[in-house]
Amino acid sequence: MPIVELQNIRKVYDTKVAVEGLTLTIEPGTMFGLLGPNGSGKTSSIRMMIGMTVPDSGTVRLFDKPFARTLLHRVGYLPEERGLYKKMKVIDQLVFLGQLHGLDEATARKRSLAWCERMEITEAIGKKTEELSKGMQQKIQFIAALLHEPDLVIMDEPFSGLDPVNATLLMDTLVALRSEGKAILFSTHRMDQVEKLCDAIALISRGKLLLSGSMREIKSHYPRNRVQIVFTGDDSFLRHPGIVEAKNYSGIAEIKVQDEAVAQQVLAEAVARGTHINRFEVIEPTLEEIFIENVRASFGDAEAGGRVDA
């Protein structure tokens, strides 16, 4: 049963096309990364998922049902631009937001206190929001999105502006939530986080979907054709006919081969020639490279008047 199903959704603001024909599915227990450059339609897509705006065409399904506001009690949302009532005490604020999500006051209070402890901000409970640091405010909003134990957690740029310690704390929390079987969707620019955390991704640019699927699937589309070799001695193996491009930085060679099989031949040849190999690594394409390549292509094609097929 998919948690989120977007079917060919489209949204136009006046003349600007924000989202065009977006289709994606999020399964339970997955960490889903929504990637894309600034202004690519990530936030617009998220807003349609939670019914803040309605798509001009296409359908949104949540928890295998057509979108309905009552389903929102099972969704936790952390917007990109954080907002809390400045003059309100942290605990009152959390209880209020919990109640809006359908909790009764006692439960909301109990859970708020437990979460504050878990997120290591117990000392902030009685303070007003305006007295807190930005990172702390972000943690509070993070808690607010999770108080009602949602089955779907949607977070727009959850780690931006956090120090590494707090970012790790949030990541660990998200991982724990995933292991409880919840679906988590987050958008980010930080590819290293996506690479570490996500099971599946969707890459959008200019409102259109460029890539989507599980991390392994996507990477398998990109050839593992780059090799880094750290060696001492004879470098004549670099003249192997299967090597397309080779750079030798005195003992560290970066080569590009025709296909994956060539890499093993190169290694065999180097060993045969008596070169001492310290390290031999077939490098996977990083998500960052895939991202940049695809986004560049989408912009280039668009400028050339072409269409992007993804």
Distance CA 276, CA 272 (A): 10
SS3 at position 158: coil
Distance CA 160, CA 146 (A): 18
With respect to another protein, which residue has the nearer C-beta, 12 or 215? 12
With respect to another protein, which residue has the nearer C-beta, 52 or 268? 52
Dihedral sign of CA atoms 68, 194, 261, 244 in order: positive
Minimum separation from the CB atom of position 196 to another protein (A): 27
| DSSP secondary structure code for residue 299 in this structure | H
The answer to whether 254 and 281 are in contact (CB under 8 A) is no
How many helices and strands, by DSSP H and E, does the chain display?
9, 14
Minimum separation from the CB atom of position 99 to another protein (A): 5
Minimum separation from the CB atom of position 259 to another protein (A): 48
Minimum separation from the CB atom of position 181 to another protein (A): 22
Residue 305 tokens read as: 């008047």
SS3 at position 240: coil
With respect to another protein, which residue has the nearer C-beta, 77 or 186? 77
Strands 276-283 and 226-232 turn out to be antiparallel
With respect to another protein, which residue has the nearer C-beta, 95 or 257? 95
Minimum separation from the CB atom of position 83 to another protein (A): 3
With respect to another protein, which residue has the nearer C-beta, 97 or 177? 97
With respect to another protein, which residue has the nearer C-beta, 64 or 104? 104
- CA distances 252 to 198, 237, 272, Å, are 32, 13, 19
Residue ranges in contact with another protein by CB under 8 A: 13-14, 47, 50, 52-54, 69, 72-73, 75, 77, 79, 81-88, 96-97, 99-101, 141, 144-145
Minimum separation from the CB atom of position 81 to another protein (A): 4
With respect to another protein, which residue has the nearer C-beta, 134 or 307? 134
The answer to whether 177 and 142 are in contact (CB under 8 A) is no
Minimum separation from the CB atom of position 242 to another protein (A): 54
Distance CA 274, CA 293 (A): 38
